[in-house]
Amino acid sequence: MREDMLTIGAFAKACRLSPKALRLYDELDLLKPGRVDPDTGYRYYAVAQLEQARLVAWLRRLGMPLARIRQVCALRPADAAREIRAYWARVETETAARRDLAEFLVEELSAVSVSVSRKDTTMLELRYCAHSDRGLVRPANQDTAYAGSRLLAVADGFGPTGHPASSAAIDALRVLDTPEAPTGNVLNLLDDAVRGATDAVRDAVDGDGEDAGTTLTALLWTGSRLALVHIGDSRAYVLRGGGLFRITDDHTVVQSMIDEGRLTPEEAATHPQRMLLLKALTPTATPDLRLQDAEPGDRYLLCSDGLSRVVPDGQIRELLTSAPTPDTAVHALTAAANEAGGPDNISCVVADVVDRTAT
């Protein structure tokens, strides 16, 4: 055997990959041996292959799929580094979504947490207003906005049956808008309602396939907290203590590129794919779920991207802060979007959390 060649056992020990893994990577054309004995079939590897093998081992420890590892290994070092950074940013985003769901479950299933929250918030209620506007460019309004004592929701339809899709989604959720706080596990309630909304949207866009659908962003008041369900690029914000905080993440191509470090927010604003959705309300897409603690004085905003895409967050904060009521707030926000050109439909829901014993 040549001095620059290692047996599969020695090579496995040096690169921290098992012989079984090396045989698999050979079969997948990911890491071919330097030589295979024609009589015994025994694999030998060149010492020069150790660097690539160690990279494969590290990427496997990151949890990267083999197909993506093959792509990374074929890149130049600088390009490979960017690809690894992008992969890990996606992992962190997905982990954060699972963490939110875990926290949701822990809080919902914790009897102590629930009882304390109900005791602290039984005298809180929502005061709200919803408004939807065609804008100045679109020939029709495909948005739907809704506000009730328990449910706040915005849906932004797209495609030839966009308006029936957004209306169907909101109508399906209205079963949750009851005079009293919904009974039962809020996660299960939301899951059932979203399944119903998904089925309703599917029926509404029947025949249009992927060319039509809707986003959905909704808040459900449980009598103690607000439960958020979100999918797409409509948004939810909370104004608290003078600061404006976004509590949803856009499910768009450009947002994923920002998360992966491939775009800056400034570049995303003019990117040709800035309106391309990664997720909408479909049977195969999983919406984000989150519990939001409510405090007296909170002001919540749900809006379609017809507002958030043309009115900067700083101006949104100013308008929400200065408007005395939810009604004046939604109309001020709509006017601002139209003053910015009104290129899309504009839907806003504003709700204040108030202590009814103080009024």
| HEC sequence for 102-136 | HHHHHHHHCHHHHHHHHHHHCCEEEEEEEEEECCC
| Biggest alpha carbon–alpha carbon distance for the chain | 91
Neighbouring residues of 241: CB distance < 8 A, sequence distance ≥ 6: 297
Residue 95 has pLDDT above 90, yes or no: no
CB environment 202-240: b (16+ within 10 A), e (fewer): eebbeeeeeebbbbbbbbbbbbbbbbbbbbbbbbbbbbe
Question: Which pLDDT score is estimated for 198?
Answer: 94
Residue 209 has pLDDT above 90, yes or no: no
Question: Which pLDDT score is estimated for 114?
Answer: 45
Pair 94, 86: CB distance under 8 Å: no
Calculate mean pLDDT across residues 304-330: 97
C-alpha–C-alpha distance, residues 146 and 132, integer Å = 9
Instruction: Report strand pairing: 346-355 vs 299-303.
Output: antiparallel
Residue 359 has pLDDT above 60, yes or no: no
Q: In the numeric block, which tokens belong to residue 238?
A: 């909370």
Question: Which pLDDT score is estimated for 242?
Answer: 93
**Residue 350 in 3-state DSSP?**
strand
Of 50-64, 69-83, 92-106, 251-265, the least confident? 92-106
C-alpha–C-alpha distance, residues 2 and 359, integer Å = 89
- Per-residue pLDDT of 132-188, as tens digits, reads 999 999 999 999 999 999 999 999 999 999 999 999 999 999 999 988 766 567 777
Q: How much of the chain exceeds pLDDT 70, in percent?
A: 91
Neighbouring residues of 139: CB distance < 8 A, sequence distance ≥ 6: none
C-alpha–C-alpha distance, residues 219 and 147, integer Å = 10
C-alpha–C-alpha distance, residues 300 and 84, integer Å = 37
Q: In the numeric block, which tokens belong to residue 307?
A: 């507002």
Give the helix, strand, coil percentages of the chain, each rounded to 5.
45, 20, 30
Pair 88, 59: CB distance under 8 Å: no
Question: Which pLDDT score is estimated for 352?
Answer: 97
Which pLDDT band holds residue 298 (cuts at 50, 70, 90)?
very high
Question: Which pLDDT score is estimated for 182?
Answer: 62
- DSSP lists the bridge partners of residue 235 as 303
